[in-house]
């Protein structure tokens, strides 16, 4: 049989590589009981995945424990978006699973004044291990989120160990060690260690590799489609990258196997149908997420700028941590040495070495060119580190290492590879951020890798050398990876954006309890107040305010909230609250939580608010300048409640004092979205952060009616930037606001009931005009008046509809755009999958003896 030819018993070719040399006896066979596999075949198949899982999870947890990170110490682990998004979303999942959510899987009323939830679920909670959060008390959801990292990296290592066995049979412990090298790659330890949904892409790649092997062999076509679906259900972003990697694996396998053109076409057809069917099965999640992304507020991401060649190559050195948007490409030194040894291993067919090596180099090169980089990222510019697909390269390195190890490399080959690695480290030693654990990993790890290969090489004659090699390999990968993970955490913590935030504790518990004490949903909303833990405090603390942070926050929500004076950041994908009674009235906020007099304490207050659904009998236009935020608030409220004076300003560009005159006793407010600095006024001092700071309360106007405010600019800004809002000061007439609230309450809904993604309101007799729902008019809402469809009408970005005379009930339902077509596509895919499973069985039954 020629090299790399498939087994003849399988129509489309075996996934096992054949070489020109006779296949050696398994290196660990003398040390293995001869009847283990026969007596316990399932356990025998699980040894490699289980060992890979345990080794990987243990290395990650050891690094945390060595650093004293939670839960092994007091040091926080919630880095950046882990605190701002992932822990709050997992708390939302806990509420959903326990029937305590204000909403359902399609929609949440908590945060953003009501937003879609299905796309957020798919993106932030799709990792199956995220459901571990529902198994613990709500106060400990953050611990479950942290546990997702070792669980997912361990599962990825286990899946890779299983995939390597499909490529070529070999000792279970060797596959377990190399599977752990993949689960502990630099991308997993640095980029994705605190991003639970990305980590599922690490699992998806070897799963799709197994599906590729089944397609080549012509086995388990439904199983291949289900593996594709499992990959895409977790997180479509990294699943897309893993799918592209699977295409590379398929091309390489077809190029290295001795198959006919007909067999290759069949394999391609099976792979294409499995991919299409699997992706269609996820369409109810995938299509709404795609449409939500298109309707979301777009970020101003910078164009891709590739790093220098020295930085790219240094990212391949073991245990190296590069700052910022750098590629983390490395795997443990053992896998790196074996991957290099693969290239000049004479026992492996030359074509196999050439094709696998060329594919690996081309994948690496594709990371440096904008067109292929955009292709890896789904034709989008990443907002952050652009090298998010580097785990694909790490997977290829591990595959090369396995193919080399399965062919029992000679110590000389390993020594030559280690020498190449050391020479590369010497040449790249002056690259930015080189150092730390890199030299020990390159020199010490390289030398021990050569020793392990030597022990394994002589293990056929000396049985005790094989267990020694196994312990040495496993110990080397464990120690080096734990040190690399520790180093990555320590060096990342030096960056300002990576300072961990608290996600549990007495203050957070007190904050949650304060929100609970005044909760009155859906009669009114409760605003959780100043963000304490995250940008998603409303979701985390069970409030219904404007705070929300999601990549899917709609453009419609941004256009509704930004003109009203709410602060935001991340180009409008993150919104904050504003302690302003007019905005409270517009959005039916009837309770608010504020910091207490003692740090860590919170006070809750309750005040009158209109219902969630109000009725406006006639259009209203504010008498104040249209470019004033206070005029825009009055238009949304439907009443004039402010006095907007023309201030005078004196001072320098860096510090200016504004003076205005208002009615004594009224409440003064300030709004200057273009200013970064400090605001001083008789009531105290307030930090201003540009667009992040919304409308600010200055306090009561003095008895003489004169109001002064001094702004001091910082960070290259100037105080004159306050003039970007031409009328920064507004004075609120509380009596006029109380009258407006009373009128809206009297003419608004008499009762409001909310379902998971629906709303039903009873209107007072004679209701006519425009019904306004205190939520933003995002795509997906459909409303009826007395059971008849009612078209939506624009109302300052809020959900509104014209009421026929004497309407008594109003009902609105939210359906995520794309959900119904997605369900139809998934149903067709499920039918096709069922037919593909049932038809071969039916045909075998009909062909069975004794049947006509």
Does the pLDDT at position 134 exceed 80?
yes
- The reply to whether 722 and 747 lie within a common domain is no
Paired tokens of 422: 């050391």
Chain segment 51-70, per-residue pLDDT in tens: 999 999 999 999 999 999 98
- The reply to whether 551 and 672 lie within a common domain is no
**15 in a domain, yes or no?**
no
Q: Omega of the bond prior to 841 within 30 degrees of 0, cis?
A: no
Mean per-residue pLDDT, 24-35: 38
- The reply to whether 582 and 490 lie within a common domain is no
Q: Which of 11-25, 576-590, 592-606, 657-671 has the lowest mean pLDDT?
A: 11-25
User: Residue 39 contacts by C-beta under 8 Å, 6 or more apart in sequence?
Assistant: none
Q: What is the pLDDT confidence band of residue 384, given thresholds at 50, 70 and 90? A: confident
- The reply to whether 526 and 654 lie within a common domain is no
- The reply to whether 54 and 105 lie within a common domain is yes
Assess contact for 344 and 274: CB atoms under 8 A.
Answer: no
Alpha-carbon distance of 398 to 334, in angstroms, equals 10
Chain segment 303-348, per-residue pLDDT in tens: 888 999 999 999 999 988 777 778 999 999 999 999 999 998 999 9
Does the pLDDT at position 562 exceed 60?
yes
Q: Omega of the bond prior to 192 within 30 degrees of 0, cis?
A: no
Final residue in a domain of this structure, among 470, 495, 520: 495
Domain containing 723 — which CATH number?
2.60.40
Q: What is the DSSP string of 453-492?
A: HHHHHTTTT-TTHHHHHHHHHHHHHHHHHHHHHHHHHHHH
**615 in a domain, yes or no?**
no
**11 in a domain, yes or no?**
no
Look up residue 103 and give its DSSP letter: B
Does the pLDDT at position 720 exceed 80?
no
Does the pLDDT at position 551 exceed 50?
yes
**17 in a domain, yes or no?**
no
Look up residue 78 and give its DSSP letter: B
Final residue in a domain of this structure, among 441, 463, 495: 495
Does the pLDDT at position 541 exceed 90?
yes
Q: Which of 540, 518, 410 is nearest to 145 (CA)?
A: 540
Q: What is the mean pLDDT of the chain?
A: 90
Alpha-carbon distance of 197 to 674, in angstroms, equals 35
Backbone φ and ψ of 498, nearest 5°: -100, 15
Paired tokens of 98: 């326990």
- Which is higher by pLDDT, 714 or 434? 714
Which secondary structure element, helix H or strand E, spans residue 788, and what is its range? strand 788-790
Final residue in a domain of this structure, among 677, 705, 732: 732
- The reply to whether 457 and 329 lie within a common domain is yes
Q: What is the pLDDT confidence band of residue 724, given thresholds at 50, 70 and 90? A: low
Q: What percent of the chain has pLDDT over 70?
A: 93
- Which is higher by pLDDT, 803 or 382? 803
Q: What is the pLDDT confidence band of residue 499, given thresholds at 50, 70 and 90? A: confident
Angstrom distances, CA of residue 343 to CA of 178, 287, 417, 551 = 17, 43, 9, 43
**327 in a domain, yes or no?**
yes
Alpha-carbon distance of 328 to 390, in angstroms, equals 7
- The reply to whether 480 and 518 lie within a common domain is no
Q: Please give the pLDDT value at position 40.
A: 66
Query: Which residue blocks in 218-349 are alpha helix, DSSP H?
Result: 221-234, 236-256, 261-281, 283-295, 309-314, 333-342
**182 in a domain, yes or no?**
yes
Chain segment 642-652, per-residue pLDDT in tens: 999 999 989 88
Q: What is the DSSP string of 538-573?
A: HHHHT--SS-EE-TT-BHHHHHHHGGGT--EEGGGT
Q: Which of 184, 236, 239, 253 is nearest to 206 (CA)?
A: 239
Q: Please give the pLDDT value at position 463.
A: 82
**689 in a domain, yes or no?**
yes
User: Residue 758 contacts by C-beta under 8 Å, 6 or more apart in sequence?
Assistant: 811, 812, 813, 814
**418 in a domain, yes or no?**
yes
- The reply to whether 530 and 404 lie within a common domain is no
- The reply to whether 581 and 433 lie within a common domain is no
Alpha-carbon distance of 683 to 701, in angstroms, equals 10
When divided into structural domains, the chain yields a total of: 4
- The reply to whether 362 and 458 lie within a common domain is yes
Domain extent, residue 203, equals 46-296+304-495
Does the pLDDT at position 36 exceed 60?
no
- The reply to whether 549 and 593 lie within a common domain is yes
- The reply to whether 81 and 135 lie within a common domain is yes
């Amino acid at each position: 049989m020629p090299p790399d030819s498939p087994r003849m018993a399988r129509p489309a070719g075996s996934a096992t590589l054949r070489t020109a040399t006779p296949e050696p006896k398994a290196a660990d066979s003398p040390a293995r009981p001869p009847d283990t596999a026969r007596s316990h075949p399932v356990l025998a198949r699980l040894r490699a995945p289980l060992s890979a899982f345990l080794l990987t999870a243990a290395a990650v947890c050891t690094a945390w424990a060595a650093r004293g990170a939670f839960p092994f110490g007091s040091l926080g682990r919630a880095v950046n978006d882990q605190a701002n998004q992932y822990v709050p979303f997992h708390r939302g999942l806990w509420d959903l699973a326990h029937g305590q959510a204000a909403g359902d899987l399609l929609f949440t009323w908590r945060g953003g004044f009501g937003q879609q939830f299905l796309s957020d679920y798919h993106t932030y909670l799709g990792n199956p291990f995220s459901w571990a959060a529902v198994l613990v008390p709500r106060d400990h959801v953050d611990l479950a989120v942290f546990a997702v990292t070792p669980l997912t990296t361990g599962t990825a290592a286990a899946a890779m160990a299983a995939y390597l066995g499909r490529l070529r049979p070999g000792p279970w412990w060797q596959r377990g060690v190399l599977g752990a090298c993949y689960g502990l790659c630099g991308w997993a330890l640095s980029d994705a260690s605190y991003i639970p949904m990305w980590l599922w892409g690490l699992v998806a790649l070897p799963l799709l590799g197994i599906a590729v092997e089944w397609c080549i062999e012509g086995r388990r076509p439904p199983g291949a489609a289900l593996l594709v679906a499992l990959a895409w259900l977790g997180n479509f972003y990294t699943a897309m990258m893993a799918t592209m990697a699977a295409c590379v694996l398929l091309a390489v396998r077809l190029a290295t196997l001795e198959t006919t053109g007909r067999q290759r076409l069949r394999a391609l057809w099976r792979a294409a149908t499995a991919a299409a069917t699997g992706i269609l099965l996820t369409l109810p999640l995938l299509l709404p997420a795609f449409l939500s992304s298109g309707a979301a507020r777009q970020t101003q991401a910078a164009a891709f700028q590739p790093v220098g060649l020295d930085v790219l190559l240094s990212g391949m050195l073991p245990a190296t941590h590069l700052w910022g948007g750098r590629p983390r490409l490395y795997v443990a030194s053992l896998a790196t040495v074996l991957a290099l040894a693969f290239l000049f291993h004479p026992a492996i067919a030359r074509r196999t070495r050439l094709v696998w090596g060329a594919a690996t180099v081309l994948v690496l090169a594709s990371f440096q060119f904008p067109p292929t980089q955009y292709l890896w990222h789904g034709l989008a510019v990443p907002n952050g580190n652009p090298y998010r697909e580097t785990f694909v390269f790490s997977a290829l390195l591990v595959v090369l290492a396995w193919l080399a190890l399965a062919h029992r490399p000679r110590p000389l080959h390993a020594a030559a590879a280690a020498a190449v690695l050391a020479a590369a480290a010497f040449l790249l030693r002056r690259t930015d951020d080189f150092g730390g654990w890199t030299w020990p990993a390159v020199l010490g790890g390289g030398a021990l890798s050569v020793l392990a290969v030597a022990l394994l090489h002589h293990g056929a004659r000396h049985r005790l050398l094989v267990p020694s090699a196994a312990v040495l390999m496993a110990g080397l990968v464990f120690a080096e990876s734990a040190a690399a993970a520790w180093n990555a955490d320590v060096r990342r913590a030096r960056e300002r954006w990576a300072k961990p935030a608290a996600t549990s504790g007495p203050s957070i518990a007190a904050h949650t309890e304060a929100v609970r004490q005044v909760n009155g949903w859906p009669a009114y909303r409760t605003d959780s107040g100043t963000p304490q833990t995250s940008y998603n405090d409303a979701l985390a603390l069970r409030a219904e305010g404007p705070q929300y942070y999601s990549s899917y926050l709609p453009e419609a929500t941004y256009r509704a909230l930004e003109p009203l004076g709410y602060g935001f950041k991340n180009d409008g994908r993150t919104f904050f609250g504003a302690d302003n009674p007019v905005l409270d009235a517009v959005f039916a906020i009837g309770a608010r939580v504020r910091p207490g007099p003692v740090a860590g304490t919170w006070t809750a207050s309750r005040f009158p608010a209109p219902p969630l659904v109000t009725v406006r009998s006639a259009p209203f236009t504010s008498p104040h300048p249209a470019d004033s935020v206070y005029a825009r608030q009055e238009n949304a409220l439907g009443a004039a409640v402010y006095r907007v004076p023309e201030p005078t300003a004196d001072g320098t560009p860096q510090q200016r004092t504004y003076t205005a005159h208002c009615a004594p006793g009224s409440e003064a407010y300030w709004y200057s979205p273009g200013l970064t600095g400090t605001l001083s006024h008789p009531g105290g001092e307030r930090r201003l952060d540009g667009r992040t700071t919304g409308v600010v309360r200055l306090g009561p106007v003095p008895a003489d009616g004169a109001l002064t405010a001094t702004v001091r600019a910082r960070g290259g800004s100037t105080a004159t930037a306050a003039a970007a809002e031409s009328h920064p000061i507004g004075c609120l007439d509380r009596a006029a606001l109380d009258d407006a609230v009373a009128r809206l309450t009297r003419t608004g809904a008499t009762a409001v009931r909310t379902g998971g993604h629906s709303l039903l309101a009873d209107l007072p007799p004679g209701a006519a005009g425009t019904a306004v729902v205190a939520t933003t008019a995002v795509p997906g809402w459909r409303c009826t008046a007395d059971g008849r469809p009612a078209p939506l009408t624009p109302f300052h970005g809020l959900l509104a509809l014209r009421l026929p005379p004497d309407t008594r009930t109003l009902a609105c339902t939210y359906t995520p755009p794309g959900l119904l077509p997605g369900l139809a596509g998934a149903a067709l895919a499920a039918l096709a999958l069922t037919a593909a499973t049932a038809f071969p069985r039916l045909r075998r039954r009909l062909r069975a003896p004794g049947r006509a």
